[in-house]
């Protein structure tokens, strides 16, 4: 049984949270807050990227942009984004930023699309081409204060500069908040770099860090998934445990302590039922938005904490404005969550992509 409002199966992508796209409109104009999980009314949509005041919508390899990006209403409706050079191929990855979208093409070229100017700029290649070793190419990118790139060889670039990496360490994933980067190593260790003034680096101090530094508090644990958003961070271990750290001004860490705003070291999250009793929960995945966090458990339930100002947590099962500990959300997918292909939180919104 699916326990959220009037979702049918003819479209696979749903959204809740802050909205600037005319896709969600009524007689009064654009609906700025989508307060519960709602189908995105766009044909053949396969994925979504959530920007500050716009969406990027995928139709397989076609990429559309829609939102408050122009004074001309017509330009704010979904329009196709096409890399100007045909030889570059089509869009493969796209990362939304405040003023620009960084795009990786199917030919592994990086482009920057300036939203408000409607212009494209090709990024000069910076990954060295060494004939004696395996070809190196981008597999993931993210935007913090700058563009951070992970390659198939496990190296990281703070584009265009190669980041100094500890010897014999291969990174397999990265995540960025406003001004910090989290890196997952092949062996399950977690490293961080960037600004640390709100504890988001997890080193039990508030100092900045220019190069990846091991988060010692997680040593001995095998982390399998990472996320970062705003000024906080969350990770999931192979045992299904959830750890969070960083800024907690809105309860985004899921740690019930309203007096303490900064947690500078990874902290194990406790889950409670309606009777405030601790319960065993196995977390499969976690996603961080700007000031909120959502996780999916192995029984198919979603839990969330932090600000719900724009409806980004969807409809809560309990009437709480800003839950400081994780509460069960009014979203349920049957078949042990097999219908959920993936979900993502970014800026002030949440999207669920189903199969």
Interatomic CA distance for residues 275 and 130, integer angstroms:
61
Other beta carbons within 10 Å of 211: 12
242: its two tokens: 């959830």
Say yes or no to pLDDT of 120 above 90: yes
CA nearest to 244, candidates 234, 258, 230, 236: 234
pLDDT attached to residue 131: 65
User: Does residue 1 surpass a pLDDT of 50?
Assistant: no
Is residue 189 within 8 A of residue 172, CB to CB? The reply is: no
Average pLDDT estimate for 342-348: 95
**Residue 129 pLDDT class (50, 70, 90 cuts):** confident
8 A C-beta contact, residue 47 and residue 61? no
Which residue shows structure tokens 């000069």? 124
pLDDT at residue 82 greater than cutoff 80: yes
- Tell whether the model's pLDDT for residue 145 goes beyond 80: no
Please give the pLDDT value at position 8: 41
CA distance 137 to 134: 10
What three-state secondary structure class fits 335? helix
Phi, psi of 74 (to 5 degrees): -60, -35
Residue 160: cis peptide before it, omega within 30 degrees of 0: yes
- Give the C-alpha separation, 294 to 81, whole Å: 30
- Is pTM beyond 0.85? Reply is yes
* pLDDT tier at 193, thresholds 50, 70, 90: very high
Label the pairing between strands 301-306 and 327-332. Answer: antiparallel
Closest C-alpha among 229, 201, 228 to residue 215: 201
Q: What is the pLDDT of residue 334?
A: 40
Structure tokens at 144: 């913090």
pLDDT at 240 over 60: yes
């Amino acid at each position: 049984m699916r326990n959220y409002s009037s979702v049918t199966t003819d479209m696979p992508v749903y959204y809740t949270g802050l909205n600037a796209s005319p896709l969600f409109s009524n007689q009064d104009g654009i609906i700025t807050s989508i307060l519960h999980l709602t189908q995105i009314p766009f044909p053949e949509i396969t994925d979504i990227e959530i920007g500050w005041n716009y969406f990027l919508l995928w139709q397989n390899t076609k990429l559309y942009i829609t939102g408050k990006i122009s004074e001309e209403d017509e330009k704010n409706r979904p329009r196709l984004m096409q890399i100007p050079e045909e030889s570059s191929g089509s869009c493969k990855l796209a990362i939304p930023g405040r003023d620009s979208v960084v795009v990786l093409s199917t030919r592994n070229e990086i482009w920057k699309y300036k939203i408000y100017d409607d212009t494209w700029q090709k990024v000069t290649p910076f990954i060295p081409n060494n004939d004696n070793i395996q070809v190196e190419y981008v597999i993931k990118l993210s935007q913090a204060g700058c563009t951070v790139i992970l390659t198939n060889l496990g190296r990281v670039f703070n584009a265009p500069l190669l980041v100094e990496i500890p010897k014999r360490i291969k990174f397999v994933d990265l995540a960025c908040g406003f001004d910090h980067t989290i890196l997952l190593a092949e062996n399950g260790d977690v490293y961080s770099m960037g600004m640390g003034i709100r504890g988001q680096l997890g080193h039990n101090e508030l100092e900045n860090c220019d190069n990846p530094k091991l988060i010692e508090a997680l040593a001995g644990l095998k982390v399998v998934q990472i996320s970062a958003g705003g000024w906080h961070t969350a990770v999931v271990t192979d045992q299904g445990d959830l750890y969070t750290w960083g800024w907690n001004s809105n309860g985004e860490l899921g740690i019930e302590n309203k007096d303490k705003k900064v947690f500078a070291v990874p902290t194990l999250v406790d889950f409670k039922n309606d009777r405030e009793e601790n319960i065993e929960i196995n977390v499969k995945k976690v996603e961080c938005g700007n000031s909120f966090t959502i996780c999916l458990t192995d029984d198919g339930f979603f839990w969330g904490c932090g600000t719900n100002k724009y409806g980004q947590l969807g409809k809560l099962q309990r009437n709480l404005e800003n839950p400081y500990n994780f509460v069960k959300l009014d979203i349920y997918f049957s078949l042990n969550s097999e219908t959920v292909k993936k979900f993502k939180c970014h800026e002030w919104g949440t999207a669920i992509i189903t199969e």
